[in-house]
């Protein structure tokens, strides 16, 4: 066991600009400003956790206050100022955590303290970490001092959430955006530290650490520290052991699972997933890795792996490329939507593991439905083209899956075939001509399709009615199967394909709405008539509550 009790992220914390990795532009810009004595009133460092915001703040403080000057800044024989700054106990360099001191009174104390010049150093420096946590009043109190501080006073701010800082503060600072450290550079860095610590960790395990850390140096060092502590003396940490320690699983397992989904092998798919789950992998981590793999399957031909990306090795890259060429790209997009939906479901189910298994089973069946042979699809179009077309229009307007029309088409073809078999072969089917919306309602009465007539009258607003094309809008009470039923009946009655489109236009009033308006007008006129007033004189308690509109067809009868 290492006798040095410091964790690696503190033990190997950069002390000068030359020690930094991944922030070359920032280091060079600040170095030049100090060399040419063009030091800003305030620095603002922003970036994700563990990329060096507070570390660079301390290096800037040391560069400004080193006894030997910036050109000969302490590296080996550290001066008192640099040593005190590194230990966070220098009297003139005050480090403040804005998360614990957010109020205006804390900032006022800071401003009051800034009135006095430095004691032993050249500059008095205030380093405020997580500065976005300051209150609005605290920021306002700081503005004047920040804009015109004394010559000896410098501010250094660090934050992970730059958007929460007022623009008035940002405009008074020299802002530096710290980037994630590139995978290749971070890999070489932790490899050197591993060698200094005399630890035995394979390159593949180090690459996994780099991948998990997502460009954060502190995260990478913390993971490496954890990995080294888990080793027995003389033992090497390989990829499999690292995956168990960090809760990650071999991506080749996921690729094999993905392949089995497309082969429809449900038992094998569940067996692989259960082995992954038994390794301690959380369902959400599994789904996030599944999404990552879907991305690779969809875009593998356009991705370039330059050796700095450790998400895939060469073998996995080639395997994904071979499988991807045999998969329908639309299916991958459908899988992506289902995976996102399942991620949301995990928050409302008690047993997330069962939810993942059902998710995988759904993908297998979804793949089977979406892989209907082309010959069957063509037969479906020939046998029931009218309905398929209308379903496609619905899907475009309402963003439903085109898959729905395919499955419905297949089911309906079977029903149609049974109906055709039951019809007498000698009987000829009489085709009806429908040229208007009112004719369509009459045909519904003739064919005793009262439910369809009810939907047309009450829940449908007609936009346009042309030859074999109906454009409508509808209300929320419309039956979900309405379009499907109407297109089917029109095809049966007329022997022709009809296009039914759903319009964003409001359309005219429905039949029932029109009748209600007519009734209201008649009631209103009747109540204003002299006859009605005479009736009320004789029968004060009388009230007209409804009128009946006589159908023209009743007159003809």
Query: pLDDT tens for residues 413-468?
Result: 444 445 545 545 444 556 778 888 888 888 888 888 888 888 888 888 888 888 78
| Domain boundary pick from 336, 370, 404 | 370
pLDDT at 386 over 50: no
Same domain, 495 and 520: no
> For residue 488, is it within any domain?
yes
Is the model more confident about 400 or about 482? 482
Q: Residue 201: helix, strand or coil by DSSP? A: strand
Same domain, 22 and 166: yes
> For residue 280, is it within any domain?
yes
Residue numbers of the domain that contains 30: 8-177
Answer yes or no: are the C-beta atoms of 267 and 361 closer than 8 Å. Answer: no
- How much is the pLDDT for 310? 56
Same domain, 408 and 492: yes
How large is the C-alpha radius of gyration of the chain? 37
Cα–Cα distance for residue pair 49/215, rounded to 1 Å:
9
> For residue 94, is it within any domain?
yes
- How much is the pLDDT for 88? 85
Residue-wise pLDDT for 158-207, tens only, equals 999 999 999 999 999 999 999 888 888 899 999 999 888 888 888 888 88
Same domain, 408 and 268: no
User: DSSP letters along 76-128, please?
Assistant: SS--HHHHHHHTT--TTEEEEETTT--SHHHHHHHHHHHTSPPSSSS-EEEEE
Question: Where is average pLDDT lowest: 48-62, 235-249, 483-497?
Answer: 235-249
Q: How many angstroms separate the first and last alpha carbons of the chain?
A: 105
Q: At what angle do helices 203-213 and 183-196 cross, to 10 degrees?
A: 120
Q: Residue 148: helix, strand or coil by DSSP? A: coil
Residue with tokens 């069946």, as numbered in its chain: 365
Buried b (16+ CB within 10 A) or exposed e, 180-216: bbebeebbebbbebbeebebbbeeebbbbbbbbbebb
Mean pLDDT of 495-524: 76
Residue-wise pLDDT for 71-110, tens only, equals 888 877 788 888 888 888 888 998 888 888 888 888 888 8
> For residue 2, is it within any domain?
no
Q: Residue 138: helix, strand or coil by DSSP? A: helix
Same domain, 257 and 147: no
Mean pLDDT of 275-285: 83
Cα–Cα distance for residue pair 340/344, rounded to 1 Å:
7
Same domain, 268 and 408: no
Cα–Cα distance for residue pair 435/449, rounded to 1 Å:
18
In the chain, what percentage of residues exceed pLDDT 90?
A: 16
- How much is the pLDDT for 305? 59
| Domain boundary pick from 370, 392, 414 | 370
Q: What is the CATH number of the domain that holds 366?
A: 1.20.272.10
Total number of domains constituting the chain: 5
Same domain, 366 and 376: no
In the chain, what percentage of residues exceed pLDDT 70?
A: 82
> For residue 1, is it within any domain?
no
- How much is the pLDDT for 429? 55
Question: Where is average pLDDT lowest: 253-257, 369-373, 492-496?
Answer: 369-373
Q: Residue 127: helix, strand or coil by DSSP? A: strand
Q: What is the CATH number of the domain that holds 210?
A: 1.10.8.60
Q: What is the CATH number of the domain that holds 154?
A: 3.40.50.300
Token pair for residue 222?
């913390």
> For residue 405, is it within any domain?
yes
Q: How many angstroms from the chain centroid is the CA of residue 277?
A: 24
Same domain, 494 and 362: no
Mean pLDDT of 501-526: 75
| Domain boundary pick from 370, 396, 415 | 370
pLDDT at 397 over 90: no
pLDDT band at 399 (very low <50, low <70, confident <90, very high): very low
Task: Enter the DSSP assignment of 346.
Answer: T
pLDDT at 412 over 80: no
Entry pTM: 0.58
Give the E-state strand segments of 166-285 in sequence order.
Answer: 174-177
> For residue 492, is it within any domain?
yes
Same domain, 500 and 520: no
Same domain, 435 and 540: no
> For residue 204, is it within any domain?
yes
Same domain, 113 and 88: yes
Same domain, 167 and 28: yes
């Amino acid at each position: 066991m290492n006798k040095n009790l410091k964790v690696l992220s503190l033990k190997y914390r950069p002390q000068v600009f030359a020690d930094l990795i991944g922030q070359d532009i920032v280091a060079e810009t600040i170095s030049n400003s100090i060399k040419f004595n063009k030091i800003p009133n305030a620095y603002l460092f922003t970036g994700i956790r563990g990329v060096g915001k507070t570390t660079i703040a301390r290096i800037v403080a040391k560069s400004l206050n080193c006894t030997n000057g910036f050109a000969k800044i302490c590296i080996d024989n550290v001066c008192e100022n640099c040593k005190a700054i590194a230990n966070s106990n220098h009297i003139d360099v005050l480090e403040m955590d804005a998360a614990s001191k957010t109020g205006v009174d804390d900032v006022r104390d800071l401003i009051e303290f800034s009135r006095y010049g430095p004691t032993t150093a050249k500059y008095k420096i205030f380093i405020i970490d997580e500065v976005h946590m300051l209150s609005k009043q605290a920021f306002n109190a700081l503005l004047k001092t920040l804009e015109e501080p004394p010559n000896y006073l410098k501010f250094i701010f660090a934050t992970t959430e730059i958007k929460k800082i007022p623009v008035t503060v940002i405009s008074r600072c020299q802002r530096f955006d710290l980037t994630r450290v590139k995978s290749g550079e971070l890999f070489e860095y932790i490899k050197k530290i591993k060698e200094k610590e005399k630890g035995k960790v394979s390159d593949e395990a180090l690459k996994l650490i780099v991948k998990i850390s997502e460009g954060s140096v502190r995260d990478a060092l913390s993971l490496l520290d954890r990995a080294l502590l888990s080793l027995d003396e003389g033992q090497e940490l390989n990829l499999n052991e690292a995956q168990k320690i960090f809760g990650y699983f071999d991506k080749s397992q996921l690729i094999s699972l993905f392949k089995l989904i497309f082969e429809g092998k449900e038992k094998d798919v569940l067996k692989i997933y259960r082995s992954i789950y038994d390794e301690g992998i959380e369902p959400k981590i599994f789904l996030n890795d599944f999404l990552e793999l879907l991305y690779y399957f969809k875009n593998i031909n356009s991705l370039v792996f330059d050796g700095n990306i450790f998400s895939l090795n060469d073998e996995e890259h080639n395997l994904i490329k071979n499988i991807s060429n045999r998969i329908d790209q639309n299916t991958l997009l459908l899988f992506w939507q289902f995976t996102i939906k399942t991620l949301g479901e995990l928050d409302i189910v008690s047993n997330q593991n069962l939810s993942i298994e059902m998710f995988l089973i759904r993908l297998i069946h979804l793949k089977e439905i979406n892989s209907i042979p082309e010959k069957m699809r063509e037969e479906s179009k020939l046998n029931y083209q009218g309905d398929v077309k209308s379903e496609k229009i619905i899907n475009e307007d309402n963003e439903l899956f085109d898959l729905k029309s395919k499955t419905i088409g297949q089911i309906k073809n079977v029903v149609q075939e049974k109906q055709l078999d039951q019809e007498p072969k000698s009987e000829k089917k009489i085709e009806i001509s429908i040229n208007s919306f009112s004719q369509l309602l009459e045909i519904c009465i003739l064919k005793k399709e009262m439910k369809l007539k009810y939907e047309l009258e009450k829940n449908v607003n007609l936009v346009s009615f042309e030859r074999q094309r109906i454009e409508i809008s509808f209300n929320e009470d419309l039956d979900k199967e309405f379009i499907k039923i109407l297109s089917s009946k029109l095809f049966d009655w007329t022997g022709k394909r009809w296009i039914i489109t759903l319009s964003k236009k409001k359309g005219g009033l429905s039949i029932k709405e029109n009748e209600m308006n007519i009734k209201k007008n008649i009631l209103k006129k009747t109540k204003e008539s002299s006859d009605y007033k005479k009736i009320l004189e004789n029968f004060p308690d009388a009230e007209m509550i409804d009128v009946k509109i006589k159908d023209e067809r009743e007159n003809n009868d």
